[in-house]
Amino acid sequence: MGNGYQTMIIFLGTMYAGMVVAPINLVAQPSQLRYVLDHSDTKLVFVTELNRERLEEALREIPREVRVVVIDKNAEEIFPDENLSAYKLPKITEDDPAMLLYTSGTTGVPKGAILTQKNMVVGGENVQLAHCLTPEDRGLISLPLYHINAEIVSAMAPLVSGSFVVIPERFSASAFWSLISEYKCTWFSIVPTICSYLVSGTKIEGQGYHLSQVRFGRSASAPLPPSLQKEFEEKFHCHLIETLGITECCCVVFSNPLDPAKHKIGSPGQPYGCEVKLVDRQGDEVPRLTPGEILVRGGSIMKEYYKDPVKTAEALDPDGWFHTGDLGYMDEDGFVFITGRLKELIIKGGENIAPREIDEALLKHPAVLEAAAVGVPDANYGQDILACVVLKPGVACDEGALRAHCLRELGKYKTPSQFRFVAELPKGASGKVQRLKLLE
């Protein structure tokens, strides 16, 4: 389902009823959709008529019965023909699972992060703390409710702060500022891609918009290029706060302060509501200004990866520290600067993309001998996709043919923006491709 009142009611109501909500990415490829529906042990799916056929096709390959409820987004009730008066809400503890959210891994197989009732509330409280939300605030939801950013920042934070949200069905650059003006929104959450769309194509002069009530905008899910932040603030006269969230940490980990004078451009900010430390390869904490892996601990950290104790043990140590896989350093003021990733995950416009998925699609082309994808810096998306390809001896192929092949296999969003034909791929002693060396 797209965004809307009923989507929000189902999202919150499922958890309130003691069940687990597992939001499905609307742009998921068929193979990923089948995997999530099967692996999650889903029993009930809510779907709009627009997405019904795609869902039913995926369900045909799942060896158990799954109930499907087709939602009329204009209807007043979700179950108009059922008597629910006998239903009693169960007793729920803070450790009960509330949400199962799938995040891509470097192997291409999504991992299902189990977030508890406590995780969800603490995640919302961390946002409230970082942005000083009050019952007088009103936020515009610009991101889809299948994304951790919208779920925690735009839904849970207003819920715990007793404030309001405005929920359009989807993001529209042309309607963005008019919605903020009409509904008197005081803040909004976007990603750098949306920021770029607004800067390049939106005008507010002479529109009669009322924007004086806007306290701030926030950007997350991918690094915000300093030049883009400056252009946005100069064009719209609105302070933009860079933040950083992680699915397994219920989104918010770092945020710049509300006071623009205290912002540090290029940093996602300071920790809010959680402990953070940086460690070396031996696991020892490093001093300020020294690079290390970023570890996070607190009440918002996930319970586990669903049905995957091995990956859970790799990510969560016995002391409760979550290993993010991000590399960076912390300055003397407690601001963190991200310098790289231990993991090879590509984050494009806030969406996680497993490089191996790109590799495997390219290997299906008859001319391709070897292929490896890697994320490269991009001003609009934070990262975009570069694919390095080794062709089979004596077989000709050009970039256009590979692009057309990837569009069929992967869809537009995951198709590499750049292709490089190389004689060989960099490999280690074990024969494994050293993916990050492709950037050299």
pLDDT in tens, 213-235: 999 999 998 778 787 899 999 99
Same domain assignment for residues 7 and 116: no
Same domain? For 129 and 101 the reply is yes
Rounded distance between C-alpha atoms, residue 337 and residue 325, angstroms: 14
Q: Which residues pair with 231 in a beta bridge?
A: none
* One domain for residues 86 and 102: no
The gap between the terminal CA atoms of the chain, to the nearest Å, is: 42
Average pLDDT, the chain: 92
Residue 192: which pLDDT band, with cuts at 50, 70 and 90? confident
Q: In percent, how much of the chain has pLDDT > 90?
A: 72
Same domain, 164 and 259: yes
Residue span of the structural domain in which 1 resides: 1-92
- Residue 246 shares a structural domain with residue 163: yes
Q: Does 328 lie in the same domain as 200? A: yes
C-alpha span between 397 and 3 (Å, rounded) = 42
Of 315, 341, 367, which residue is a domain's last?
A: 341
Q: Are residues 355 and 232 in the same domain?
A: no
Do 288 and 319 lie in one domain? The reply is yes
What are the pLDDT digits (tens) for 348-400? 988 878 788 898 899 889 999 889 999 999 988 889 999 999 999 899 999 99
Q: Which residue has the higher pLDDT, 280 or 360?
A: 280
pLDDT 10s digits, 70-115: 998 888 888 878 888 888 889 999 999 999 999 865 456 789 999 9
129 and 17 in one domain?
Answer: no
The domain tally of the chain equals 3
Domain CATH for 365: 3.30.300.30
Q: Are residues 229 and 170 in the same domain?
A: yes
Domain closes at, from 341, 368, 396: 341
The whole-model pTM stands at 0.83
Pairing between β-strand 216-219 and β-strand 368-378 as defined by DSSP bridges: unpaired
The verdict on 27 and 58 lying in the same domain is yes
| Domain boundary, last residue among 92, 121, 156 | 92
Query: Taking 90 as the threshold, does the pLDDT of residue 164 lie above it?
Result: yes
Clarify whether residues 168 and 115 are in a common domain.
Answer: yes
Q: What percent of the chain has pLDDT over 70?
A: 98
Average pLDDT over residues 157-186: 96
Q: Can you give the pLDDT at residue 107?
A: 52
pLDDT class of 431 with cuts at 50, 70, 90: low
